[in-house]
Amino acid sequence: MSGGIDSTVSAMLLLEQGYEVVGVTFRTYDSMKDSCIAKEKGCCTIDSIMEAKRNAERMGFEHHIVDFRETFRRCVIQNFIDEYMSGRTPNPCVLCNSHIKWGELARVADEFGCEYIATGHYARIREKNGHVYLAAAADTRKDQTYFLWMLTEEQLRRTIFPLGDYTKDEVREIARQHGYVKLAQKKESQEICFIPNDDYRAFLRTNVPDYDERVHAGNYVDREGRVLGQHLGFVNYTIGQRKGLGIALGHPAYVTHIDAERNEVTLGNNEDLLATELTFRSLRALHIPEESSPLTAKVRYRSTPVEAVIQTNNRMGGCEKRNTPPLEGGAGGELLSLSFSEPVWGITPGQSVVLYQNDLVVGGGIIL
Question: Quick one: pLDDT band at residue 44, thresholds 50, 70, 90?
Answer: low
pLDDT at 42 over 60: no
Question: Residues 80-103: what's their mean pLDDT?
Answer: 95
| CA dihedral of residues 23, 27, 31, 35 (deg, nearest 10) | -10
Question: Residues 270-285: what's their mean pLDDT?
Answer: 92
Question: Quick one: pLDDT band at residue 39, thresholds 50, 70, 90?
Answer: very low
pLDDT at 40 over 60: no
List pLDDT tens digits, range 139-177: 999 999 999 999 999 999 999 999 999 999 999 999 999
Residue 324: per-residue pLDDT: 37
Q: How much is the mean pLDDT over the chain?
A: 89
Question: Residues 296-301: what's their mean pLDDT?
Answer: 96
Residue 286: per-residue pLDDT: 79
Reported pTM? 0.89
Residue 290: per-residue pLDDT: 80
pLDDT at 188 over 70: yes
Please give the residue that has the higher pLDDT: either 288 or 246: 246
Please give the residue that has the higher pLDDT: either 195 or 158: 158
Q: Report the alpha-carbon distance of residue 70 to residue 77 in Å, rounded.
A: 10
Residue 71: per-residue pLDDT: 95
pLDDT at 315 over 70: no
Residue 334: per-residue pLDDT: 85
Residues 247-278 as b or e (16 or more Cβ within 10 Å = b): eeeeeebbbbbbebeebbbbbeeeebbeeeeb
3-state DSSP assignment of residue 352: strand
Question: Residues 101-106: what's their mean pLDDT?
Answer: 92
Residue 89: per-residue pLDDT: 97
Question: Quick one: pLDDT band at residue 45, thresholds 50, 70, 90?
Answer: low
Residue 321: per-residue pLDDT: 35
Instruction: Estimate the crossing angle of helix 5-16 against helix 46-59, to 10 degrees.
Output: 20
Question: Quick one: pLDDT band at residue 133, thresholds 50, 70, 90?
Answer: very high
pLDDT at 41 over 90: no
Q: Report the alpha-carbon distance of residue 258 to residue 223 in Å, rounded.
A: 11
Highest mean pLDDT among 32-46, 204-218, 289-303: 204-218
Lowest mean pLDDT among 46-55, 171-180, 348-357: 46-55
The letter for the amino acid at 251 is H
pLDDT at 62 over 50: yes
Question: Residues 222-243: what's their mean pLDDT?
Answer: 97
Contact 296, 353 (CB under 8 A): no
Residues listed for the chain:
368
End-to-end CA distance of the chain: 34
Lowest mean pLDDT among 38-42, 111-115, 204-208, 227-231: 38-42
Question: Quick one: pLDDT band at residue 332, thresholds 50, 70, 90?
Answer: low
Q: Report the alpha-carbon distance of residue 208 to residue 216 in Å, rounded.
A: 14
Residue 314: per-residue pLDDT: 40
- The strand pairing partners of 345, in sequence order, are 274
pLDDT at 83 over 90: yes
- Catalytic residue numbers read 96, 193
Residue 61: per-residue pLDDT: 97
Domains of the chain with CATH codes: 5-197 (3.40.50.620), 216-268 (2.30.30.280), 274-367 (2.40.30.10)
* Torsion 276-257-346-279 (CA) sign: positive
